[in-house]
A and B are shown apart, each in its own frame.
Chain A
Amino acid sequence: MARENACDLVITDVNMPRMDGITLVSELRGLPHYRLTPLLLLTTESSQERKLEGKRAGATGWIVKPFNPEQLLATMARVL
């Protein structure tokens, strides 16, 4: 789906069965129309190592669950 369509913003979970969020971010960054798209990771994990992995993969930001809806919207506004 991502290969065919561009979107303005992606928020993805990290722990997913077939492909984890960090790998997804890394793969999306390889697609021309996703080079500059804000990609946010939303997860229960909060360790520095994992955040660094996300950053290296090309993520725009890291949001730890439980999230505050107002904060999430503010973050989205900032990156769009």
Chain B
Amino acid sequence: MTHTKRHAAAEKARYPAAPDNPPPTQQHFAHISRYWDRENQGYAAKLLPGEYYVTTAGERISTVLGSCVSACVRDRRLGIGGMNHFMLPLDASKGSSIWGTAVSAATRYGNVAMERLINDILKLGGRRDSLEVKLVGGGRVLGGIAIDIGARNIEFVRKYVADEGFSVAGEDLGDIFPRKVHYSPETGKLRVKKLNAVRNDTLYERERHYLEVLDRDPVGNDIELF
């Protein structure tokens, strides 16, 4: 064998490939991208903006955050939990006409992102008083001089967590860098790698597109009378 082939073979031996399929997951997570993390010898789920994932099978959850924020929530006793990835839409005019700006469309999106995550954990046996919360993201990546979108997202998620009576066990928020994030609900460990602010067109485009979709998307059309 050549040197490179031997090296590759040794790497493969040291980090064996996935032994079998990813652990079964709930129907509403069927479309979430899951992969075998060779380095950590375990399955992981990769989130895109707007997605969330909850696991009871010791999986890790990863994502890349620019101005978006992620709440990492787990039940300490059971080692189950998950993560979301969201941003508040800019257009606060939807809904503010009747309710006033207090419950803007922007806030309602954020509330849903948090509610889904927490409710799923509680339904899987989690208890509110055992929940541990870590917050990450909200970098000054998107937006111009006039508006700090990251800061807006951070303000929302901090307030939400405080209103719900949770304390923040760890955080890595703000600054001007995008972040690559790995979270393990089983151990509670949150690993953050700060990325180069300049050379990240994919992330910038993805978040900008997500914000556009949020602002365009008519909210509240799923009403069914039986």
Contact = CB atoms under 8 A, between A and B. Distances in A.
Q: Do A and B come from one complex?
A: yes
Contacts of B224: 51, 61-63
Given A44-B115, A44-B116, A69-B98, A64 B222 contact: yes
Interface of B: 27-28, 94-95, 97-99, 105, 108-109, 111-112, 115-116, 119, 122-123, 128, 218-226
Interface of A: 15, 17, 44, 46-47, 51, 54-55, 59-73, 75, 78-79
A64 B99 contact: no
B123 A15 contact: yes
Secondary structure of the A side of the interface?
A: mixed
A73 B98 CA distance: 10
Nearest to A67: B220
Contacts of B99: 69
B221 A66 contact: no
Contact of B219 (A15, A55, A60, A66): A66
Given A66-B219, A72-B220, A79 B225 contact: yes
A22 B191 CA distance: 39
Contacts of A67: 108, 219-220, 223
Given A66-B105, A66-B220, 11 more contacts: A17-B122, A44-B115, A54-B226, A60-B225, A60-B226, A63-B220, A66-B108, A67-B223, A68-B220, A69-B99, A79-B225
Contacts of A68: 94-95, 218-221
A75 B224 CA distance: 9
Contacts of A66: 105, 108-109, 111-112, 219-220
A75 B223 contact: yes
A46 B27 CA distance: 12
Contact of A63 (B95, B122, B223): B223
Contacts of B115: 15, 44, 65
Given A15-B119, A15-B122, A44-B115, A65 B221 contact: no
Given A15-B122, A44-B119, A65-B112, A59 B226 contact: yes
Contacts of A60: 225-226
